[in-house]
Amino acid sequence: MPVFDYRFFVNAPVAEVAAFHFEPGILKTLTPPLMVMQIHSSEPIDEGSVARFTMWMGPIPVPWTAIHSNVSSAGFTDTQQSGPMKSWVHTHRFRAIADDVTEVHEHIEYEHFRGFRGLWSRLLFNAAGLKLLFMIRRQITRSQIRMRLNTPGSTDPSNGD
């Protein structure tokens, strides 16, 4: 089963970064500008809460239902109950590096369907596609938190920016 890991840093306390990721509607906020996401329902993130949405892959609607688990102030996991992948388990973790620096760790274990059914997911959710998605999410996260805290820009020495 493929595994994707992505880490980045945000110049903000861990409580602020975690609170941002727990905000209602955050999935829509973190969606890249060219990706179309329609949220049908999204319960506040809590143990067993459900999010239902449709991702539009070009003209094709792809419904997705995710269940949240392992919810704590340090993060949470969303597991695809139904959607474009054979399996998808995405763990979000937040760890204080210093008083005002937080590491965000995105860990995804996933598997595509075989054959034609998995064509779209193999094209969009391959290693390169996931890296691009999370690079964009990194920038959105930093920008949104910077606006909320009105602090100078954050940097990530591990990614050369």
pLDDT in tens, 112-124: 999 998 888 898 8
**CB neighbour class for 77 (10 Å; exposed up to 12, middle 13-18, buried from 19):** middle
pLDDT in tens, 10-45: 999 999 999 999 998 899 999 988 888 999 999 999
Amino acid letter for position 75: G
User: How far is it, in rounded angstroms, from Cα 23 to Cα 44?
Assistant: 8
159 DSSP assignment: G
28 DSSP assignment: H
pLDDT in tens, 85-136: 999 999 999 999 999 999 999 999 999 999 998 888 898 899 999 999 999 9
> Is residue 159 pLDDT above 80, yes or no?
no
- What is the model's pTM? 0.89
Can you tell me which residue has the tokens 């975690």? 18
Confirm if 111 and 90 have CB atoms less than 8 A apart. no
